[in-house]
Structure 1
Amino acid sequence: MAEIVKQILAKPIQLADQVTKAADEASSFKQECAELKSKTEKLVALLRQAARASSDLYERPTRRIIDDTEQVLDKALSLVLKCRANGLMKRVFTIIPAAAFRKMSSQLANSIGDVSWLLRVSASRVDRDDEYLGLPPIAANEPILCLIWEQIAILYTGSLDNRSDAAASLVSLARDNDRYGKLIIEEGGVGPLLKLLKEGKSEGQENAARAIGLLGKDPESVEHMIHAGVCTVFAKILKEAPMKVQAMTAWAVSELAANYPKCQDLFAQHNIIRLLVSHLAFETIQEHSKYAIASNKATTIHAVVMANSNSATVKVAVEDHRTPILHPLGNQSPNQMHNVVTNTMAMNGAKLPQKLSNNHVRSNSQGNFKQFHQPQQSGANMKGREQEDPATKSYMKAMAARALWHLAKGNPSICRSITESRALLCFAVLLEKGTDDVQFNSAMALMEITAVAERDTDLRRSAFKPNSHACKLVVDQLLKIIEKADSELLIPCIKAIGNLARTFRATETRMIAPLVKLLDEREAEVSKEAAIALTKFACTDNYLHLDHSKAIIGAGGAKHLIQLVYFGEQIVQLSALVLLCYIALHVPDSEELAQAEVLTVLEWASKQSYMTQDETIDTLLQEAKSRLELYQSRGSRGFP
């Protein structure tokens, strides 16, 4: 860096010396040349000072200011050389307006101001006693650029407190205007922000993480940060930093992943998925006081005694930690099932109560719990986390869930990593007990994970098996929210249930009635999503479409769909029509459909141009009509 700056400064210093020498040799306009010489000498003194301090100079404004200064000195040399003309004829034909000297004098004064500002802005805050720098003349056309230069220079040379303040200033600029964010990146702000994130005090680290998240507004910006090493720094922070800093870093991860999905795998390669899940699991999954666990020094579990809510006693004896632990789950409530899962996880780690084990709990094909002993891996820093205030812990979970939501979107490998961890169980618990932000981000994460599982057969079969206890708990919580139908979680939960449509057995129909009820919802968006979710149950691609179609009819879905097709908003009409067509196609002999005169509805719909302009919908509509005409042609005169 120092050598580059010296090379930049070499030419303007040479030009300044030439101007001084030419001014001494001037034969005309001597007074004007003397004034230019005086200012040039001041300028060259500053340039030499800059050369001596080259290692401290901030490169971006240095290049800009020195380039402008070089152009000014080149013009000054041309002007002064004209004043060296010898002979009467040369002097007569060399006409120099007086205004040219005034303009050149002003330009040299501006260059003196620019270089002087450059030296001050590149000095440490201690050396310049925190004085207000003002704006250099070069800032006349773009004052924000010089403000950005000043703050980035402080990030390079200031104390930790001053660097924190500079990062906060960049946060304000990036938040106000996307173009300012671009300038911060172009002017080299990412490197010192990452350095502050690694080395700063807690407040400075927070400001740096927030700034990085705000700067990642587009793929190009995020890619620049990836090359600058943001993944490595984020992984270090999520493992070791104070919880507030970790929470802000998790938010930054979510922003970068949302704006540039290609970086998802890079974050995963740096173990960020596991670190985020660790934060999600902290104090979410823990041992229950009703369980007593006894173990010897070899961690062999001799007995586990559990008193259930019905005061029945269940004894489980285990001679080896690799032996399956059988539990009579019976008709346990979700909370009881959660207690069983979390306690089983706790038994496999020789830790004190309230500490988390990294061992995973999975279920075998019979639905019994089986423990898999795994080597302990270093996760997020646990030290001092218990003493954090509840608001900070909640914010950490909310941001971890938000980051997992955006990292999981459209990415099968990351979704597989998430579902193979404790995350599904955590999401189920947080949907029930988390604060508003935690619940919403958990619901959105589940929506994205199930959306990938809908398209990825292997993921769907491994993560959302019908006998998976984590899956059961997730479905239970999704259904509770759908049944209440009174929160902002409703739409992501509807979508998540729809995405899982192909995972339910024929006897698992409890989600149909709540979804059918939502077809009568006043909010068009809710009715639309309910119709789309039910379509995933009733469509031909679903192996159990016949059973699900009958269940929709049995729950009173036909009458709601007819109302939506006739009178719903246009965004709802098409979704309702598609669902009605699938039901008519699969259950054409239904008496309920005949009594509701569904054939009449489909004939009306086939005459509406906006409903048939989609070729797929038009084809489905014609097939459904044909099936109904075959079975219910007498529907208008009464069905036997």
Structure 2
Amino acid sequence: MADIVKQILAKPIQLADQVIKAADEASSFKQECAELKSKTEKLAGLLRQAARASSDLYERPTKRIIEDTDQVLEKALSLVLKCRANGLMKRVFTIIPAAAFRKMLSQLENSIGDVSWLLRVSAPAENRDDGYLGLPPIAANEPILCLIWEQIAILSTGLLEDRSDAAASLVSLARDNDRYGKLIMEEGGVGPLLKLIKEGQLEGQENAARAIGLLGRDPESVEHMIHAGVCSAFAKILKEGPMKVQAVVAWAVSELVANYPKCQDLFAQNNIIRLLVGHLAFETVQEHSRYTIVMNKATSIHAVVVASNNSNIGNGIKVNDDDRQHESKIQHPMNNQTPSQMYNVVTNTMAMKTKPLQQSNGASQTNQAKSSDHSSLSGSTTKGRELEDPDTKANMKAMAARALWQLAKGNSPICRSITESRALLCFAVLLEKGREDVKHNSAMALMEITAMAEKDTELRRSAFKPNSPACKAVVDQLLKIIEKEDTELLVPCIKAIGNLARTFRATETRVIGPLVKLLDEREAEISKEASIALSKFASTDNYLHLDHSKAIISAGGAKHLIQLVYFGEQVVQFSSLVLLCYIALHVPDSEELAKAEVLTVLEWASKQSSMTQDEALDTLLQEAKSRLELYQSRGSRGFH
């Protein structure tokens, strides 16, 4: 850095010396040249002072200011060289307007002001005046840029309190305008902000983390931050920082990941998932004894069941496919095992699966065992956190859930990592007990995790077994929200239930009714999502499509679907028609369908161009209509 600045300064210093020498040799306009010489000498002194302080100079404004100064000195040299013209004829034909000297003096004065400001703004905190630095002349064209330079310079060399204020100023600038955020990035603001996150006091760390979150508005900016070390800085705070700062960091993680999903794995590699789950679980799961077994350490039933099943797989015991769960009669673990049996499962499983927990700062396992259960299971320090105020704790959970929501989106390995922890149980509890923003973020996280489970068979088998306490707790809460028709949470919960359609057994009839009820005179979005979710139950891809189709008919779904196909908005018509076709295809001999005149509806739909433009739907519609015609024409007398 210092060498680069010295190289930048070498040329203008040489130019200044040439201007001074040429001014001394002037044969005309001697008075004007003397004034130019005086200004140039002052400027040269400042440039040499800058060269001596090159290690402290802020590089970005240095380049801009010295580049402008360079151009000014070249013009000054050209002007004074004209004043050295020898001979009468040369002097006669060398015309220099008086305004040229005034303009040049003004430009040199501006350069003096710019370099003086650069020295002040780059000075170490102990040498800097507390007063307002003001804006240099170069700021006339772009005042915001110089304000950003000043704040970043303070961030780099100021006292901690001043650095906190500078970070707050950058937060305000980044929030107001995307272009200002870009300028902060381009002018080197990320490095000092990350440094403040590591070294600052609580307020300074909060401001710096919030600034980072606001700056990561596009993939290029986030990628720049990743290279600057944001992942490790955030991991350190989530492990050891104050809870208020941790909440802002979790929010910033969610922002960066939302704007650049490719960084999900990089955050996961820095242990962010485990740390976030630890914050989610703090004072959450442990409050609900039905989810835990009290031993020497709190161990979730879910973890025991998963570990036990994994060990069974390793011993050659075959596990049924999720899509054929109706063949299995396994009951809830708490219903078919005595406490002593469960204790044996826990003991055996822990003996097989126990691995040394990650140590931090070289602490031994013995010392770690003395810490709280929260700390040993999450990898984060929780000492003293029970003293935090309820709002801070709730905000921490909301931001942790928000970050996990974004990290889980479209990423199967991360979803697997989340579901192998206590997160599912935490989400279930928080959906029931959490603050509104906590509930919302938890619902969104479950929606993304279940969306990946729908696509990833292995994830679905491991995380959402019908007999798993975690899965049962999640489904219970999702259904409660759907039954209560909680408007704020309804859409993500409907989607989550639909994503889990393949995991439900034929005997799990409680899921269909609440979804069918949502088809009746609801907002368009609710009706659409309910019909899409039910289509996943009735789809041919679902092993139990026949059982689920019959359940939808029994719940009165046919009459609602007919209304939606005829009178619903276009998006609702489309999804409702898909579901109606699946039901007609799988249960063509249904008396309810005949009485509701579903065949007439399908014939009408087949003549609507808006509904037959989609090739897949048109094929499904024709197949369902043909099937219905075959069965209903044969048994129509019995139906009427």
Q: Give the letter for the 1:618 counterpart.
A: D
Higher mean alpha-carbon deviation, 210-219 vs 124-133, is at 124-133
Q: For residue 486 of structure 1, report the CA deviation from its aligned partner.
A: 2.5
Contact 1:594-1:635 at 8 Å conserved across structures: no
Over the matched positions of the two proteins, sequence identity in percent amounts to 84
> Which of 305, 310, 316 is equivalent to 1:362?
305
The correspondence of residues 117-156 of structure 1 with structure 2, limited to 5 A, is 117-156=117-156
Call closer, same or farther: CA 1:140–1:452 in 2, change over 3 Å: same
Name the amino acid aligned to 2:30: K
Inter-partner Cα distance in structure 2 for 1:112 and 1:225: 35
Partner secondary structure for residue 362 of structure 1: helix
Conserved? CA contact 1:531–1:576, under 8 Å: yes
Q: Structure 2 vs 1, CA of residues 456 and 356 (structure 1 numbering), >3 Å: closer, same or farther?
A: closer
Distance in 2 between residues matched to 1:461 and 1:383, nearest whole Å? 36
Gaps of 5+ in 2: 310-329, 360-378
Q: Which residue of 1 aligns with 2:398?
A: 398
Q: Does 1:340 align with 2:283?
A: no
> Contact conserved, 1:216 with 1:222, CA < 8 A, in 2?
yes
Moved more, 550-559 or 102-111: 102-111
Amino acid at match of 2:143: P
After TM superposition, the structure 1 = structure 2 runs for residues 303-318 of structure 1, keeping only pairs within 5 Å, are none
The equivalent residue for 1:467 is 467
Tell me the amino acid that sits aligned with residue 144 of structure 2.
Answer: I
CA contact (8 A) 2:302 2:469 kept: no
User: Cα 1:71–1:359, aligned 2, differ >3 Å: closer, same or farther?
Assistant: farther
Q: For residue 172 of structure 1, what is the amino acid of its counterpart?
A: S
The equivalences for 1:130-529 within 5 A come to: 130-286=130-286, 339-342=289-292, 344=293, 346-349=294-297, 360-363=303-306, 364=308, 367=333, 369=342, 370-371=345-346, 372-373=349-350, 374=354, 375-377=356-358, 379-529=379-529
Tell me the CA shift for residue 636 of structure 1.
8.3
Deviation of 1:635 after TM superposition, in Å, equals 8.5
Contact 2:171/2:207 (CA < 8 Å) preserved in 1? yes
Matches within 5 A, 1:526-565: 526-565=526-565
Q: Distance in 2 between matches of 1:591 and 1:356?
A: 51
C-alpha distance in 2, partners of 1:57/1:483? 64
- Offset, 1:140: 1.2
SS at match of 1:286: helix
Distance 1:528 1:12 in 2: 69
- Measured after TM superposition, the shift of residue 36 of structure 1 is 1.0
- On the 8 A contact 1:348/1:357 being kept in 2, the answer is no
Shift of 1:97: 2.0
Does 1:567 pair with 2:567? yes
Aligned twin of 1:305? none
Contact 1:561 1:576 in 2 (8 A): yes
Shift of 1:214: 0.6
Shift in Å at residue 377 of structure 1? Answer: 4.0
Whole-Å separation in 2 of the counterparts to 1:445 and 1:218: 22
TM-score, with structure 1 as normaliser: 0.89
Amino acid at match of 2:111: S
Secondary structure of the residue aligned to 2:131 is coil
Tell me, yes or no, if structure 1 residue 44 matches structure 2 residue 25.
no
Aligned-residue RMSD, C-alpha: 1.7
Describe the superposition over 1:384-442 as per-residue Cα deviations: whole angstroms up to 9, x where unpaired.
Answer: 11110111011111111111100000001000100001111111111111111111111
| Cα drift, residue 358 of structure 1 | 13
Q: Distance in 1 between matches of 2:64 and 2:301?
A: 54
Letter in 2 for 1:579: L
Query: What is the distance in 2 between the residues matched to 1:66 and 1:545?
Result: 74
Query: Per-residue deviation at 1:129?
Result: 2.6
- Check whether the contact 1:516–1:530 (CA below 8 A) recurs between aligned residues: yes
Greater mean alpha carbon deviation, residues 393-402 or residues 624-633 = 624-633
Q: Deviations over 1:541-569 (max 9, x none)?
A: 11111110000000000010010111111
User: What is the distance in 2 between the residues matched to 1:560 and 1:583?
Assistant: 13
> Match for residue 27 of structure 1?
27
- 8 Å CA contact 2:16, 2:41 repeated in 1: yes
Amino acid at match of 2:527: S
Shift of 1:102: 1.8
Query: Matched residues in 2 for 1:636 and 1:120: separation?
Result: 93
Which structure is higher in helix share? 2
Amino acid at match of 2:79: L
Q: Distance in 2 between matches of 1:581 and 1:95?
A: 92
Residue 141 of structure 1 and its aligned partner are, at CA, apart by 1.3
Which AA in structure 2 matches 1:339? S
Pair 1:195–1:605, CA change in 2 (3 A): same
Secondary structure at 2:305's aligned position in 1? strand
One-letter amino acid of the structure 1 residue matched with residue 623 of structure 2: E
Q: Write the distance in 2 (CA, Å) between the matches of 1:145 and 1:611.
A: 55
Kept in 2, the 8 Å contact 1:606–1:618? The answer is yes
The question of whether the paired residues in 1 share the 8 Å contact of 2:291 and 2:301 is answered with no
Q: Measure the CA separation in 1 of the matches of 2:416 and 2:224.
A: 28
Q: Alpha-carbon deviation of 1:92?
A: 2.0
Deviation at 1:279, TM superposition (A): 0.5
8 Å contact kept, 1:440–1:488: yes
Q: Flag the 1:451–1:359 CA change in 2: closer, same or farther, 3 A.
A: closer
CA contact (8 A) 2:516 2:557 kept: yes
Report the AA paired with residue 50 of structure 2: A
Q: In the superposition, relative to structure 1, how do residues 635 and 94 fare at CA in structure 2: closer, same or farther (>3 Å)?
A: farther
**By how many angstroms is 1:634 displaced?**
7.3
Q: Quote the residue 1:109 is aligned against.
A: 109
**Residues 240-269 of structure 1: CA deviation (Å, up to 9, x unaligned):** 001001111111111111111111001111
Per the alignment, residue 303 of structure 1 pairs with none
Letter in 2 for 1:340: R
More contact order relative to length (CA 8 Å, sep ≥ 6): 2
The CA distance in 2 between the partners of 1:381 and 1:630, in whole Å, is 68
Unaligned runs of 5+ in 1: 288-337, 350-354
TM-score by length of 2: 0.89
Query: Deviations for 1:577-616, whole angstroms, at most 9, x for unmatched residues?
Result: 1111111111111111111111111111111111111111
